[in-house]
Amino acid sequence: MTRTGPVEIDEQTQLAARLRLVVGRLHRRIRIDGRESVPPLQLSALVTVEQHGPLRLSELARREAVSAPTMSRVLTALDEQGLVIRTPDPNDARGVQIVLSEAGAARLAEVRSHRTALVARRLGRLDDEERRRIVEALPALEALLVDED
């Protein structure tokens, strides 16, 4: 077991603060510049349904950390746009499951493509050395996405 001293903790905390700030601001910039036609919670719900669907409303609300009434409103909006399909739950005659429609998959692809182009333009402003350092940092950044057991 490695022991971390006070100086190392302070440096780690400073690194964490810088990383949080730059990732948060970059994400916000992409969202603002993207001017997506789908609000953030609706977009997040679409991604969750794509990754984990079919889902019941209660499970989707839990995964999105919102109340069931809030998720119901989100699903109504997505349903009205034709981005999701409600199907009967085979395990519960009263329940429904939510799946992504073809239009929903197409909208997600469009948003991802647009956001990728925005990031690519920002990367284009960097010099070769800065881009190389980002490439080298990606495995460590991707490791931060792995949840602890």
Tens of each residue's pLDDT in the chain, 149 residues: 455 666 577 888 999 999 999 999 998 888 888 777 788 899 999 999 999 989 999 999 999 999 999 999 999 999 999 999 999 888 887 888 999 999 999 999 999 999 999 999 999 999 999 999 999 999 999 999 888 75
Question: Residue 69's CB: how many other CB atoms inside 10 A?
Answer: 10
pLDDT for residue 46: 96
Report the SS3 class of residue 65: coil
Question: Residue 85's CB: how many other CB atoms inside 10 A?
Answer: 19
pLDDT for residue 95: 83
